[in-house]
């Protein structure tokens, strides 16, 4: 029995689409496996860095990729010029991320220290009461990291006038240097609760197992498509 030409053409298109979807699903599965390997390397590097010997005020390099390296630096906090990074949340509460300039001993540059979340006051017009800390010589312990990424739609400052504590919309160290007439180290120090929350976030967001799970889903979808297509083609042949 002859097969209509239109049926042959439609069958060819079906086979082509099936192959396209199969190759796409398989390719996405292998891509997720590759991402898992990349994340494993990132996670291993993260763990290696946080377990390294801490830098102090004398051994801290002036440049290089210093993310996630620990520090134990002696110096003085400048609590006269704290920064409040706006629009932060923690456990369902609105507030700010508190950054305090820190001057290491025998250094000219300041380092911003992330001291964690501060709940908002009774209103936006009322700034929160900040913790009072001695300006005496102290040692700050934490992890180095880049300032938080941002997408600037406006000025870093909420108002043109500078009042302390200074409420900011994002952390721009170059702009901050202009405002304060001081030079800042290109990294910030995560200290206190900010270290704990940061480490927990890293462990969740870069887990390789998540990518392996996605890969398994793509491979399963490709296999299911192949099996259903084979059964469908077999049914068509039996009808002929």
Mind listing the pLDDT tens digit for each residue in 29-83?
Answer: 999 999 999 988 888 888 899 899 999 999 999 889 999 999 999 999 999 899 9
20-32 average pLDDT score: 95
**Across 5-19, 71-85, 137-151, 199-213, least confident range:** 5-19
Exposure on the CB side of residue 66, measured as CA atoms within 13 A = 24
> Which residue, chain included where needed, has tokens 């929160």?
128
| Nearest CA among 185, 192, 145, 184 for reference residue 49 | 145
% the chain with pLDDT above 90: 46
**Across 20-29, 72-81, 129-138, 212-221, least confident range:** 129-138
115, with CB counted inside 10 A (0-12, 13-18, 19+), is buried
Mind listing the pLDDT tens digit for each residue in 160-219?
Answer: 677 888 899 999 999 999 988 999 999 999 997 777 667 666 665 668 899 999 999 999
Check pLDDT > 70 for residue 5.
Answer: no
Please, which pLDDT band fits residue 10 given cuts at 50, 70 and 90?
low
């Amino acid at each position: 029995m002859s097969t209509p030409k239109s049926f042959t053409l439609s069958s060819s298109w079906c086979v082509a689409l099936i192959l396209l979807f199969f190759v796409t699903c398989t390719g996405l599965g292998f891509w997720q496996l590759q991402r898992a390997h990349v994340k494993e390397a990132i996670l291993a590097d993260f763990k290696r860095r946080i377990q390294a010997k801490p830098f102090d005020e004398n051994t801290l390099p002036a440049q290089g990729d210093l993310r996630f390296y620990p520090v134990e630096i002696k110096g003085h906090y400048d609590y006269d010029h704290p920064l409040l990074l706006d629009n932060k949340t923690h456990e369902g509460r609105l507030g700010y991320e508190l950054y305090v300039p820190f001057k290491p001993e025998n250094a000219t540059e300041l380092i911003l220290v992330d001291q964690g979340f501060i709940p908002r006051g009774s209103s936006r017009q009322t700034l929160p009461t900040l913790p009072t800390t001695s300006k005496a010589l102290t040692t700050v312990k934490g992890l180095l990291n880049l300032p938080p990424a941002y997408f600037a739609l406006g000025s870093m400052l909420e108002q043109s006038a500078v009042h302390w504590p200074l409420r900011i919309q994002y952390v721009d160290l170059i702009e901050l240097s202009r405002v304060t007439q001081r030079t800042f180290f290109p990294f910030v120090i995560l200290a206190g609760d900010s270290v704990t929350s940061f480490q927990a976030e890293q462990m969740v967001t870069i887990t390789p197992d998540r990518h392996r799970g996605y890969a398994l889903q793509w491979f399963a979808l490709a296999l299911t498509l192949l099996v259903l297509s084979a059964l469908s083609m077999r049914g068509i042949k039996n009808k002929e």
